[in-house]
Amino acid sequence: MKKAICYLVSDSPYSQSKHHSTPELDKEHKSDYEDRTWRERMHYDSNGVVFIPATQFMNSIKAAAKYLNIQIVGKGKSTYTKHFDSGVMVVDNLSMGINKNDVERESVFVPSDGRVGGTTRVVKHFALIPKWEGSVTYYILDNIITEDVFDKVLRECGSLIGIGRFRPRNRGWYGRFNVKKIEWFEE
């Protein structure tokens, strides 16, 4: 097993849209509910510090491997996709170092049912974090994934797939990042 500690820096703002089921108060108007609960769409720890879930990094690199569809040299038409699917893990969240109460919000006019092209629209508020950076540790369990291939997939992941709400993979431009450095370790 290899471990890649990757230092990532945002290239565009980051936003989250976690589902929450905070109950409405008696006779609370929908807009008042939205104003009161929008921070519940963020991922944060018991101290209120916002983090990027490990699964966002893990799922985005797997999506990038599928998108790039890189063939394995000497293996016919086989690609790295299934090797990234089962052979790459990220287990630690990336702390943003900012309290949920200090995060700015962005108000967006979105379909009320959450589906693209919905017929009715409502105003929703989402967290907007202009910049972030930090180290993310990827565990590469499948030895067929070389350092060069991992590096290429991760860099393209930051440009073409992204993380969070309104990322490039979902017709947006938030959540893009650059890879500043990768340190490799054998486990």
User: How confident is the model over 63-91, as pLDDT tens digits?
Assistant: 999 999 999 999 999 999 999 999 999 99
Can you tell me the distance from the alpha carbon of 75 to that of 72, in angstroms, rounded to the nearest whole number?
6
Q: What is the DSSP string of 166-177?
A: T-GGGT---S-E
Cα dihedral value 71, 68, 60, 37, nearest 10: -160
Q: What is the pLDDT of residue 117?
A: 78
Partners of 5 in beta bridges:
137, 183
Span 110-137, mean pLDDT?
89
> What does residue 81 show for φ and ψ, rounded to 5 degrees?
-50, -55
Confidence of residue 101 (pLDDT cuts 50, 70, 90): very high
Q: What percent of the chain has a predicted confidence (pLDDT) above 70? A: 100
Q: What percent of the chain has a predicted confidence (pLDDT) above 90? A: 93
Q: Is the pTM of this model over 0.85?
A: yes
Helices then strands, counting H and E runs in the chain, come out as: 4, 8
Comparing CA positions, the residue from 2, 3, 6 lying closest to residue 152 is 6
Q: What is the pLDDT of residue 64?
A: 98
* CA distances, 134 to each of 10, 63, 122, 161, 181 (Å): 9, 21, 34, 18, 11
Confidence of residue 113 (pLDDT cuts 50, 70, 90): confident
Confidence of residue 144 (pLDDT cuts 50, 70, 90): very high
Q: Is the pLDDT score of 115 beyond 80?
A: no
Q: Is the pLDDT score of 114 beyond 90?
A: no
